[in-house]
Amino acid sequence: MKFISLLILSVLIVVFINPIAPFWIIMILLGISSALVGAKGASSFLATGLGMGLAWLGQTIFLDFSTGSQLPYQMGEIMGLGSGMVLIAITGVLGFLLGGFSGMTGSYFRRLFKKKPENIYRG
């Protein structure tokens, strides 16, 4: 449940805030969200990573379809990647890594303040 909420939250943050803020603000926001939602480290990594990765990937694919511009293919050539598809993939992967690590950091941050669990079973 936490995973799904964090994933959706991440996508929303990227889609609505990234247009007006640079990527590093998004990273901080994803870290904070992840700390607030409180999923485990690995699960946070995956949720925020997929959130940002998919949102970035979605945006590039949307631009590709809606504008019909040749720019990704040209950029791919200039950057020596051969094709625009590679560039789309790279954008997605980069989004995934940036989002994922941000989320994981947030999750680990929350863990710092979590009460120690040893008393739970001793009543």
> Which residues contact another protein (rule: CB under 8 A)?
18-19, 22-24, 27, 31, 41, 56, 59-60, 63-64, 67-75, 77-78, 87, 90-91, 94, 97-98, 101-102, 104-105, 108-109, 111-112
CB atoms near residue 120 (< 10 Å): 8
Q: Give the DSSP H or E segment for 81.
A: none
- CB-nearer residue toward another protein: 32 or 94: 94
Q: What is the rounded distance in angstroms from the CA atom of residue 17 to the CA atom of residue 10? A: 10
- Minimum CB distance to another protein, residue 70 (Å): 7
Judged on CB neighbours under 10 Å (0-12, 13-18, 19+), 30 is buried
Judged by CB, which is closer to another protein: 117, or 123? 117
* Smallest distance, another protein to C-beta of residue 11, A: 13
Distance CA 111, CA 108 (A): 5
Residue number, 22 or 123, with CB nearest to another protein: 22
Nearer to another protein, 1 or 55 (CB): 55
Number of Cβ within 10 Å of residue 66's Cβ equals: 8
| Cβ 4 to another protein shortest distance, Å | 22
